[in-house]
Amino acid sequence: MKTTVIAPTPQIPSRFHAPFAGSRVPSFSRRLRKGWEFIPLIAALACAATCAQSAHPNPLATARVFHFSQMTPHTAANGAVGRNFFDGTLVTGEVVAAHETMQPAGTKPNPPHRIHHSELIVVQQGTVEFDHDGKAERAGPGSIIYVAYGTLHTVRNIGSGPAKYAVIQIGGDTNK
């Protein structure tokens, strides 16, 4: 029969006795030493993330113009037409995304939803109603709507013609 010898765990210095009532270092110390085995895995994941980022260059790494003609329109089930401008990270670390939405008159808006970022909505055309925090506010061309992180809200076209607005998403998760 094979006998396995386990080295005793070191004594805790006297200044640390209180939490463990004079016992030896708990068994997690051995597990902590084994944790070093994960360093190559962590390094590989970091490399993979960097490689994935380089496959899709950050559109906000340098100054540039985003041409409207190069943005593909996407029509939603409710008839609204959206165009994504960009999704990237500023050199200062903030995640920023921008898109434009055009809601035809009478279009059913997105249901109220909470966002995991902040938004600035610049109304370009038409009149919209911004429902949030139990209030309804109107905004017309040139108005800027600020949507704070976590706000339950919706924006709907209340005019007789199309409403068009640009949305700038800042920080947090711009996909939510």
Predicted pLDDT at 82: 95
CATH number listed for the domain at residues 68-173: 2.60.120.10
Query: Where do the CATH 2.60.120.10 domains begin and end in the chain?
Result: 68-173
For 110-137, how does the pLDDT look when each residue is reduced to its tens digit (9 = 90+)? 889 999 999 999 999 999 999 999 999 9
For 18-68, how does the pLDDT look when each residue is reduced to its tens digit (9 = 90+)? 444 454 545 545 554 555 454 454 554 454 444 444 456 899 999 999 999
Residue 14 has pLDDT above 80, yes or no: no
Report DSSP letters for the chain, one per residue: ------PPPPBPPGGGHHHHTT-BPPTHHHHHHHGGGGHHHHHHHHHHHHHHHHHS--TTSS-----GGGSPEEE-TTS-EEEEEEEEE-TTS-EEEEEEEEE-TTPPPPPPEE-EEEEEEEEEES-EEEEETTEEEEE-TT-EEEE-TT-EEEEEE-SSS-EEEEEEEEEEETT-
Q: Select the more confidently predicted residue: 3 or 86.
A: 86
